[in-house]
């Protein structure tokens, strides 16, 4: 998750510096005893592996944002670690143990072996934490251990360089690849929706409910609430850069481009606050729209449909059904009528058979009488004649609702 990774971003530079200092001590200071050299090998191994693991996670997360998570001089870091890798090869290459290695007996650790090697090292890594007489004896081949540490150090350094290079390359590409920026922005939005939006939404809904209890749940009341939230979100005195982002969004400026241009000054926490405002604003916009859609239907079919959303939904879906369903007999349109009733598009508290027949005839261009239209409805044996058609129509409608944003909104208003 990006948030947890970002909390460790502040320590990434410390880890990189620690890895560099540990390597420098190994290459630039002569040990006074072999044990000291072995100790330094352990230190370099531990720090490099830890740093490579953190860099791997950070590089993955950097692909989900166009913010520069490290805000670092990548080229300088890459050059330093490449130089250190070369220096360590020279120094360790002079040690007889590594210089005269029998690769048949002690094969080199490959990238695909890293996880299994880490498992081997786990008991040794956990040894300092084995207290309360729970310490376990550990047996290992010291020579094999040294070779594996040697290989893991260079695999770790190679990884650090690769991850730094990858992050640098992406930062260089983003300004000239708008489609890449668009994908990154969508991932930022998706991450917010997955990790933070539900909690933010629940907090907002409490405020909305308090407002509704005081002022009612109608279009005018919700519009007032939205104006309050918009004013708070664009208050420069308290909001700073986030208020500026929100202002650009409300004024339909290209706020994503603005965010990208200011990415060196923005933190993920500020982006989260901005995305929170966007989602709340859109939620209120939708609820205001739903207030209108939940008003009674108008016109000749005012008593037929449950509300305006139901009328619009029936008209949209009817055109789709007309294209995708082959009605061979007049009574088969009863399947469409039954679907409208089951979806609660038609009012059940009215005797509206004549209005239904008129709507079906006008919508589908037919001349069906009411008796024919309702022949198979209300009788279980007769309904079997249109049962398959009913299921087919219902399946088509569900697919359309999933694919059509307008139909999805209308369904919320039923």
Residue 172 and residue 146: Cα distance in Å, rounded?
A: 39
Handedness of CA 217, 219, 225, 226 (dihedral sign): positive
Write down the pLDDT at residue 8. 56
DSSP assignment, residue 271?
H
pLDDT of residue 130: 66
How confident is the model at residue 377, as a pLDDT?
Answer: 85
In a structure prediction context, what are the per-residue pLDDT tens digits for the chain, which is 414 residues long? Answer: 443 444 456 688 899 999 999 999 999 988 888 888 889 999 999 999 999 999 999 999 899 998 888 878 899 999 999 999 999 999 999 999 999 999 999 999 999 988 888 888 887 877 777 666 666 677 778 899 999 999 999 999 999 999 999 999 999 999 999 999 999 999 999 999 999 999 999 999 999 999 999 999 889 999 999 999 999 999 987 778 999 999 999 987 778 888 898 888 888 899 999 999 999 999 999 999 899 899 898 888 888 999 999 999 999 999 899 999 989 999 999 999 999 999 999 987 888 899 999 999 999 999 999 999 998 887 766 888 898 999 999 999 999 999 998 998 899 888
Q: What is the DSSP string of 295-360?
A: SPP-GGGTTTBSSHHHHHHHHHHHHHHHHH----SGGGHHHHHHHHHHTT-B-TTS--HHHHHHHH
The domain segmentation of the chain, as residue ranges, is: 2-176, 179-293, 299-412
**Is residue 104 within 8 Å of 142, Cβ to Cβ?**
no
User: Do the beta carbons of residue 301 and residue 360 sit within 8 Å?
Assistant: no
- CA gap 215, 211 in Å, rounded: 6
d(C-alpha 154, C-alpha 93), whole Å: 12
Residue 171: helix, strand or coil by DSSP?
helix
Report how far apart the first and last C-alpha atoms of the chain are (Å, whole number).
Answer: 37
Helix (H) / strand (E) containing 156 = helix 142-173
Q: Shortest CA distance to 337 belongs to which of 363, 312, 308?
A: 363
Q: How far is CA 266 from CA 70, 271, 324, in A?
A: 12, 7, 50
Q: Residue 346 — φ and ψ, nearest 5°? A: -105, 140
Whole-angstrom distance, CA of residue 336 vs CA of residue 333: 5
Yes or no: say if 297 and 308 are a contact pair by the CB < 8 Å rule. yes
pTM score above 0.75:
no
Instruction: Kindly state the DSSP code that residue 137 receives in the 8-state scheme.
Output: -
Q: Which residues pair with 305 in a beta bridge?
A: 346
Contact present, 35 and 56 (Cβ < 8 Å): no
From CA 36, how far away is CA 32, in angstroms rounded?
A: 7
């Amino acid at each position: 998750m990006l948030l947890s990774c970002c909390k460790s971003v502040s320590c990434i530079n410390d880890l990189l510096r620690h890895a560099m200092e540990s390597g420098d001590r190994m290459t630039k200071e002569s040990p006074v005893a072999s044990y000291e050299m072995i100790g330094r090998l352990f230190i370099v191994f531990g720090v490099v592996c830890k740093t490579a693991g953190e860099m791997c996670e950070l590089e993955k997360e950097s692909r989900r944002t166009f913010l520069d998570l490290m805000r670092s001089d990548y080229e300088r870091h890459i050059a330093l670690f490449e130089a250190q890798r070369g220096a360590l090869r020279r120094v360790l290459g002079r040690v007889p143990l590594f210089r005269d290695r029998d690769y048949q007996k002690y094969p080199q650790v490959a990238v695909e072996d890293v996880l299994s090697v880490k498992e081997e090292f786990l008991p040794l890594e956990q040894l300092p934490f084995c207290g309360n007489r729970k310490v376990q004896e550990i047996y290992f081949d010291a020579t094999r251990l040294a070779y594996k540490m040697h290989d893991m150090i260079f695999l770790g350094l190679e990884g650090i360089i690769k991850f730094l290079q990858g992050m640098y390359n992406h930062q260089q590409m983003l300004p000239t690849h708008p489609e890449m920026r668009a994908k990154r922005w969508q991932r930022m939005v998706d991450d917010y929706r997955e990790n933070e939006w539900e909690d933010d939404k629940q907090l907002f809904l409490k405020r909305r409910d308090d407002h509704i209890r005081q002022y009612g749940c109608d279009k005018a009341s919700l519009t007032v609430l939205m104006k309050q939230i918009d004013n708070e979100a664009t208050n420069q005195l308290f909001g700073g850069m986030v208020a500026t982002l929100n202002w650009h969004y409300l004024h339909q400026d290209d706020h994503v481009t603005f965010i990208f241009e200011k990415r060196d000054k923005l933190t993920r926490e500020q982006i989260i606050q901005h995305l929170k405002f966007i989602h709340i604003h859109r939620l209120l916009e939708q609820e205001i729209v739903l207030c209108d859609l939940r008003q009674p239907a108008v016109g000749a079919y005012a008593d037929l449909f449950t509300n305006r959303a139901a009328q619009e939904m029936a008209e949209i879906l009817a055109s789709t059904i007309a294209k995708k369903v082959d009605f061979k007999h007049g009574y088969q349109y009863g399947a469409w009528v039954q679907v409208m009733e089951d979806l609660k598009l038609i009012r059940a508290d009215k005797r509206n058979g004549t209005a239904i027949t008129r709507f079906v005839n006008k919508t589908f261009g037919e001349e069906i009488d009411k008796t024919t239209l309702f022949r198979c409805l209300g009788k279980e044996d007769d309904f079997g004649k249109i049962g398959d058609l009913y299921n087919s129509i219902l399946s088509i409608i569900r697919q359309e609702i999933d694919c059509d944003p307008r139909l999805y909104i209308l369904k919320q208003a039923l």
